[in-house]
Amino acid sequence: MHNMGNLRDTLQKDNDSEESLISQFETTLTIRPTSNEIDELQDLSIDHTILHNNTINYTRDQSIVDITELEEEEIILEQIPKFKTKRRYSLQPKQAVRKSTSTSPVPKKSTSPNQEPDDSLYRPQHVDSKFEAILKPSVLIDQSLTRFTKAFSDFLNSNPHIQKESPRFVTENDKTLVILSPFSAEHAFGRRWVTKSYLSTIFERPQRLLASCIGVAAAVTMFPFFYKLSNSTKRGSVISSHVCKIHGKNWPKKLFELCLESHEKLNNDDIEVPEDWNTGDIYLTPKTINAIEGVLGTIETAMDSLYGSKNPQENHNLAFVVIRPPGHHSHACLPSGFCLLNNVQIGIQYAYEQYGVTHAAILDIDLHHGDGSQDICWERAGFQGDYGQDEEDEVDPKENPRDEYGKRFATYPKVGYFSLHDIKSYPTELGYATKENIKNASTCIMDHDLNIWNVHLQEWSNEEEFYKHYLTKYVAILNRANQFLNQAKKQYEHEYQTYLNNLSKYNKYLLKPYLYNQAIPKPTPPPPFKPLITISAGFDASEYENPQMQRHGINVPTSFYATITKDIVKLAKIHTNGKVVSFLEGGYSDGALSTGIFSHLIGLNNDEELLWNDTWGTEQVMRELVKGCKKNWLPYKKPQSDISVWANEVIKLGRSMMPNAILPANYVYEYQQPEPAPLNKMVKDIIGSSTAEVSSSPLKKDPEDERKIMRHTRSYYKKMASAQKQQLILEESSKQATPRY
Ligand SMILES: [Zn+2]
């Protein structure tokens, strides 16, 4: 099944012409071209894809990497991830929270889905009025997926045979749900003064979403009726109970405040994250708030789609959630390695609070160890986390006090963490890892309320060798997840039996209380066993990841993602009625993301017969998909071969999904105040300097403007009158805007 090597050898050498494209490419459907109406300009983009073929020089192929922007003399120290320091951060919000003490800012754990958290303070509309405009999401966000809907219907209309030939499911809900988070693209690097070479080291960039969408589109073109796409525009809250349970009361608020404060700092060309954070990995802007709230909303949407309907037939079983920033390095109270909040743990907490999910297995297939996810599992088991919540952070520390050994009762939900990763990469980067880091990333324990299993990726020279590792070593994470869920079920059955025994004792007592010395309390049943399987789906272990991200030659073939995902779905059919929810974690090159997600989605499917085809993971396919990740991609005018026809369609579909993620490679967030129409330079000169300050940053000043001759025309006077009116309004509104922070 996996003899990709042979196929590679037969491929023609580097050549962008269509004749060089592989003919062995197999689509499941014959795809005909739709019309090419593309109105975008040429552009070069940074992506971070590895090319194995020696004839393709990664550093010189400008169609792939805009490496000419690199200033070669500059040493890029930031490319070496720094491991976290031991220092604890002050997590107390700086400003006093304007909140009466009568109501707790964090609602008590609630099983009522209708109970809304009191998050009014942390809503953009309730912060300083100047942030209202800043926090307005991009106008390019296509909330109702109209562009995708049209692109998909064009695709079907151009290919009427697909309607007939395509296999499909009986019910809608057998489809795999792909949930996009359009607000995720709002989180972007905002230090505008950095060099271009520094900028090229920013791996966690909004354009990752475009590459992800192209990966989704690749799967959609192969099996058009097996996937359902949805856009989540729900905004969650950083102080909702499921976030605070994981991250404590203080850290989410601190994060929110840092995002707001970043506006001023970035404008002053200062570093916007606290001095002792890893400034190379983590960046913030006010719009990061949009991304975070969007991610939280998307996580909730995903869980709602799995459990929300009382009729199980109306719920989906399989979902892939396309979000960023990623989450698995995030500890309870320490952001780390691009991660601000621990998305998967928050999702599990939400599923517990809203839908009674009692047990969850996290299968983490990212290149890196999910140290944050694991640390939170220690906290859930009742131990103090390495970067866990202090007593003052905790939602309710008194409910369950620690014993003299520092342990408290493990509470629901019980979460197991099972990871396959490279032990030489972050946070155990060779040469930078501490003993503690290495121990954590190698922990294997299935007791003491802990269910943690870590397996390390091995080198391989051909796929046969890789799949030997898979069958002998890597499946351990599946076996241990299986063991965890089996034992959990047995324990539940045991607890339920104990409950039944106690209930019968209680009933006897009720009948003849006089026979008993003391009252028998009414027993409470254990919560019904309801397990879930989650995937921390990182694609940075891909063979096509950037060598700077993946410095040790430890990787996986693209087919791996389909294989392990298929096996995870099998496990879910045994334990969770087939429910699996997968969250995007890492994956930084366009090639790794697009091909990895393509493969992952082929595996994340309800059809056991559906198999990954090895011709889909080749370098030629990857190269075609990567072209579509550049801002100003242009389709082949007359695509001839199967692969170029296919790639055109995939890219068109992918680009239609999240238009606001189609950004130039050197995109840097900078807030530009929308200039009221009458306030042009000419008028501002007349009405005085105070209004001129309202204009955008001095960097944007056009020297030509200064030399323009003023002409006192009729429209000029009209403009001036309107500008004076504007001025009055501005003065009025600045009087009203009393900052709350
Ligand atoms: Zn990673």
Task: State in Å: Cα 690 to ligand 1 middle.
Answer: 48
Predicted confidence at residue 728, as pLDDT, reads 62
DSSP 470: I
Whole-angstrom Cα distance, residue 252 to residue 244?
Answer: 7
Whole-angstrom Cα distance, residue 89 to residue 12?
Answer: 55
pLDDT digits (tens, 9 = 90+) for 417-472: 999 999 999 999 999 999 999 999 999 999 999 999 999 999 999 999 999 999 99
Task: State in Å: Cα 421 to ligand 1 middle.
Answer: 9
Note whether 726 and 659 are same-domain residues: no
Note whether 191 and 318 are same-domain residues: yes
Task: State in Å: Cα 715 to ligand 1 middle.
Answer: 58
Residue 723: pLDDT band (50, 70, 90) is low
| The last residue of a domain, from among 646, 671, 696 | 671
Whole-angstrom Cα distance, residue 169 to residue 159?
Answer: 20
With respect to residue 317, please indicate whether it lies within any of the assigned structural domains: yes
Task: State in Å: Cα 212 to ligand 1 middle.
Answer: 15
With respect to residue 39, please indicate whether it lies within any of the assigned structural domains: no
Task: Give the tokens for residue 713.
Answer: 């025309």
Residue 106 confidence (pLDDT) above 60: no
In sequence order, which ranges of 630-713 are alpha helices (DSSP H)? 642-657, 681-687, 689-692, 703-706
Residue 725: pLDDT band (50, 70, 90) is low
With respect to residue 38, please indicate whether it lies within any of the assigned structural domains: no
With respect to residue 697, please indicate whether it lies within any of the assigned structural domains: yes
Task: Give the tokens for residue 404.
Answer: 């003299």
**Of 85-99, 162-176, 189-203, 430-444, which range is least confident?**
85-99
Question: 607: domain CATH number?
Answer: 3.40.800.20
- 279 vs 741, more confident: 279
Task: Give the tokens for residue 607.
Answer: 């059809």
Residue 18 confidence (pLDDT) above 70: no
Note whether 646 and 727 are same-domain residues: no
Predicted confidence at residue 141, as pLDDT, reads 93
User: How many domains are contained in the chain?
Assistant: 2
Predicted confidence at residue 277, as pLDDT, reads 80
Are the beta carbons of 534 and 361 closer than 8 angstroms? yes
With respect to residue 358, please indicate whether it lies within any of the assigned structural domains: no
Q: Is 329 a catalytic residue?
A: yes
Tallying the residues shown for the chain, one arrives at 741
Whole-angstrom Cα distance, residue 105 to residue 120?
Answer: 10
pLDDT digits (tens, 9 = 90+) for 381-425: 999 999 888 888 888 778 888 999 999 999 999 999 999 999 999
Predicted confidence at residue 671, as pLDDT, reads 85
Residue 363 confidence (pLDDT) above 90: yes
Residue 57 confidence (pLDDT) above 90: no
pLDDT digits (tens, 9 = 90+) for 614-647: 999 999 999 999 999 999 999 988 888 889 999 9
With respect to residue 595, please indicate whether it lies within any of the assigned structural domains: yes
Note whether 663 and 686 are same-domain residues: no
Whole-angstrom Cα distance, residue 223 to residue 608?
Answer: 14
In sequence order, which ranges of 136-202 are alpha helices (DSSP H)? 146-158, 160-165, 196-199
Task: State in Å: Cα 85 to ligand 1 middle.
Answer: 19
The residue type at 283: Y
| The last residue of a domain, from among 671, 700, 726 | 671
| The last residue of a domain, from among 618, 652, 671 | 671
With respect to residue 665, please indicate whether it lies within any of the assigned structural domains: yes
CB neighbour burial string for 402-425, b if at least 16 within 10 angstroms, e if fewer: eeeeeebebbbbbbbbbbbbbbbb
Whole-angstrom Cα distance, residue 9 to residue 11?
Answer: 5
Task: State in Å: Cα 425 to ligand 1 middle.
Answer: 9
Note whether 691 and 561 are same-domain residues: no
* Among 263, 316, 328, 329, the one annotated catalytic: 329
Predicted confidence at residue 394, as pLDDT, reads 86
Note whether 579 and 721 are same-domain residues: no
Note whether 211 and 172 are same-domain residues: yes
Q: Could you list the residue range(s) of the whole structural domain that residue 727 is in?
A: 681-736
Task: State in Å: Cα 375 to ligand 1 middle.
Answer: 16
Task: State in Å: Cα 365 to ligand 1 middle.
Answer: 9
Task: State in Å: Cα 540 to ligand 1 middle.
Answer: 6
Residue 165: pLDDT band (50, 70, 90) is confident
With respect to residue 689, please indicate whether it lies within any of the assigned structural domains: yes
- 422 vs 125, more confident: 422
The average confidence (pLDDT) of the chain is 81
Note whether 571 and 652 are same-domain residues: yes
Whole-angstrom Cα distance, residue 13 to residue 118?
Answer: 60
Backbone angles phi, psi at 534, to 5 degrees: -120, 155
Average pLDDT for 184-212: 94
Note whether 334 and 218 are same-domain residues: yes
Note whether 254 and 273 are same-domain residues: yes
Whole-angstrom Cα distance, residue 365 to residue 354?
Answer: 27
pLDDT digits (tens, 9 = 90+) for 635-693: 988 888 889 999 999 999 999 999 999 999 999 998 877 666 555 565 555 554 443 33
Whole-angstrom Cα distance, residue 612 to residue 601?
Answer: 10
Task: State in Å: Cα 722 to ligand 1 middle.
Answer: 54
Average pLDDT for 593-600: 98
Residue 87 confidence (pLDDT) above 50: no
Are the beta carbons of 74 and 274 closer than 8 angstroms? no
Backbone angles phi, psi at 373, to 5 degrees: -60, -40
Note whether 344 and 209 are same-domain residues: yes
Note whether 692 and 653 are same-domain residues: no
Task: State in Å: Cα 374 to ligand 1 middle.
Answer: 14
The residue type at 220: V
Environment class of 308 (CB within 10 Å of its CB; exposed 0-12, middle 13-18, buried 19+) = middle
